[in-house]
Amino acid sequence: MKSLWNDAEASKYADDDLGMRVYTSRLLGQSEDLVLHGGGNTSVKSSQEDIFGNEIEVLYIKGSGWDLKTIEKAGFSPERQKECLLLAGMDELSDVEMVKQLRLALLDPAAPNGSIETLVHACIPFKYVDHSHADAIVVISNSETYKGQLDSLFPELLILPYVMPGFDLAKQFDTAVKEGLLNGKKGVILCGHGLFTFADDAKESYELHIEAVNKAEELISDKRLQARQEAQAENLDLLALATIRKEVSQLRGSAVTIKVDQSKEAVGFSKRSDVASIATRGTLTPDHSIRTKRTPVIIGDDSAKSLADFQQDHEAYFARNAGPEHTILDPAPRWAVWKDAGILSFGVNRKEAGQISDIARHTANGIQDAEALGGWCPVGEKDLFEIEYWELEQRKLNKGGSKPMLQGQIAIVTGAAAGIGRKCAEDLMSHGALVVGIDISPSIESFTGPNSLGLICDIGNEDQLKNVVEQTVATFGGLDLIICNAGIFTAGEYVEELDSNKWDLTLRINLTANQLLVKHATPYLKQGIEPAILFVGSRNVGAPGPGAAAYSVSKAGLTQLARVLAMELAPSGIRVNVIHPDAVFDTDLWTPEALARSAERYGMTIEQYKTRNLLSTEIKSTDIAEMCTALVGPLFNKTTGAQIPVDGGNDRII
């Protein structure tokens, strides 16, 4: 661990306590080995004037919801230091009441709630306090061999036993300060939790932190290379992956996405003969249990049995430790060791899955390091339960709140580079879905984001369609929804003049491609969460016109395909429906010139032509997208084989 301190950069904050605090906090936040997804906290004691001109001692502490990697001044909560010390000196105080009182002690009512460890920082009689859950420190304090040697290994630090964060931890520090235990010390190792360092100078406090972590890393380094096993990943069993996702989703009560880690380190960990023992002893630091639960599930050849055993174990763990005030959480794992295949992380969205994946990676490495140091011996079950079922976390359950309509569901949308397809993809994502958009246009690659994937695909090519399905499952863990929107429109030729190549191409793109996509997707849809397929048909199915035979026939065939699929797939719970739009003018297909020509042909103005339906309303791509989302969503979860017009009312159809 190396110091990132830069004198030139730091000099910008020489007369700005809070600015300096932001600077050094970001230095800590740059290392995942110190701070992971909001973990750790920092503070500075300073002063400011209140509205009456009175000088007030202020504790600026990292606010809840902020990350040290990117924190700004607004991310620090300005707490009245005097009130904080009075709270820490109380004999008893519930964590809920502590949070309430700290809220009242804020100098700025718009500021975020301060860290749960605010009172700990207040107790420490130094200007700057740095706290992290440094992997190396936690590993050593969770090592059977070294946990008893910490005093001699780190004589400059006070070693304290694990105490749950909140008021209990504040009392531990308050007592240590009042008894003089911090005298001459440069920091504190809280066993199983992390490291605190402190000084009246920001650079000194930060570099004391780096120095302690570096010492711990050097103790580990000799054994680390032999501790961490590595192995090459084999081909991922995609159908088994989709099955695991379905089973975990059912336990969670919500669709989940999976982040798959098949790195050499993850696969090596999954291949360890002792992995079922060492991976299920506890978390790297108890704070992680709020995100990851107490243990991962170990998935063997029978995933259903593995998950049933995990559920039973969680329920027994709850029964052993719970009181009447506790409500059991869902029994779904947050991560898994998939034997011989790697590590899986589950989340209701990609952000959660990614955060859990990072924690799982650090945990797997830390477990192996500690095991090599004489045995992995983390904080006990009761302590983990107190964090996972913390009073503050239990209160969140009662707040409820609705989840996004399609949260965690995984969709493929064809023709998603622009127009109706792009609007469909965006609307699905706005309701919580993870979307793979495909298109023959290279511009589709710009669709790729945290919750989306844009893939170039010629839907007339079966191999490319098969690859899209497999890449979707490998990326997100499964497949639930398909919106078949891509198509081509050929018009202006009567049948006697129609080029056979144009006929074949139209049927290939508008009909056969959709059949092939469904063919390769169906095995995964059968393992999907509330799975559905939607075909974008056309008003031409019910009201064809001359000169568009290939288009009209292909869309009619697509509609018939949907009817057959509705009957074939219903036993697997897969719904299949069709939407029939009329002309949608806010797409690339309708250039201003083409629109003007068509309006002139009918003897209408452009506005009259765009609203030539019974309701005299223009049909826009957003209208189609919203109906598509509704049809694949829960509103129509008992509808299959239906054909829904979105055309403003067509007298020929009616």
Catalytic site residue 551?
A: yes
For 12-23, what is the HEC assignment? Answer: HHCCCHHHHHHH
What is the rounded CA–CA span in Å between residue 400 and residue 364?
Answer: 33
Instruction: List all residues 6 or more positions away from 176 whose beta carbon is below 8 Å from its beta carbon.
Output: 158, 160, 182, 188
**Which residues are 410's β-sheet partners?**
434
Residue tagged 């009075």 (tokens): 86
What is the rounded CA–CA span in Å between residue 130 and residue 105?
Answer: 22
What is the rounded CA–CA span in Å between residue 531 and residue 345?
Answer: 22
What is the rounded CA–CA span in Å between residue 482 and residue 163?
Answer: 50
CB atoms within 10 A of CB 112: 17
Instruction: List all residues 6 or more positions away from 405 whose beta carbon is below 8 Å from its beta carbon.
Output: 431, 432, 629, 633, 634
Instruction: List all residues 6 or more positions away from 122 whose beta carbon is below 8 Å from its beta carbon.
Output: 59, 79, 81, 84, 85, 88, 170
**Which residues are 257's β-sheet partners?**
347
**Which residues are 195's β-sheet partners?**
132, 189
Q: Residue 114 is inside which H or E element, if any?
A: none
Catalytic residue among 206, 389, 524, 551: 551
Name the phi and psi angles at 504, rounded to 5: -65, -40
What is the rounded CA–CA span in Å between residue 598 and residue 610?
Answer: 10
What is the rounded CA–CA span in Å between residue 133 and residue 38?
Answer: 10
Q: List the helix and strand counts (H, then E) for the chain.
A: 25, 18
**Strand pairing report for 187-190 and 157-160:** parallel
Residue tagged 């249990």 (tokens): 289
Q: Is 602 exposed, middle or buried (0-12, 13-18, 19+ CB in 10 A)?
A: exposed
Structure tokens at 591: 């250039």
**Strand pairing report for 128-132 and 41-49:** antiparallel
What is the rounded CA–CA span in Å between residue 295 and residue 316?
Answer: 13
Q: Are 640 and 575 in contact (CB under 8 A)?
A: yes
Q: Residue 56 is inside which H or E element, if any?
A: strand 55-62
Q: Is 226 exposed, middle or buried (0-12, 13-18, 19+ CB in 10 A)?
A: exposed
How many angstroms separate the Cα of 371 from the Cα of each of 182, 377, 546? 31, 8, 76
**Strand pairing report for 481-484 and 410-414:** parallel
| 3-class secondary structure, 454 | strand
Residue tagged 């477990």 (tokens): 367
Task: Please give the positions annotated as active site.
Answer: 551
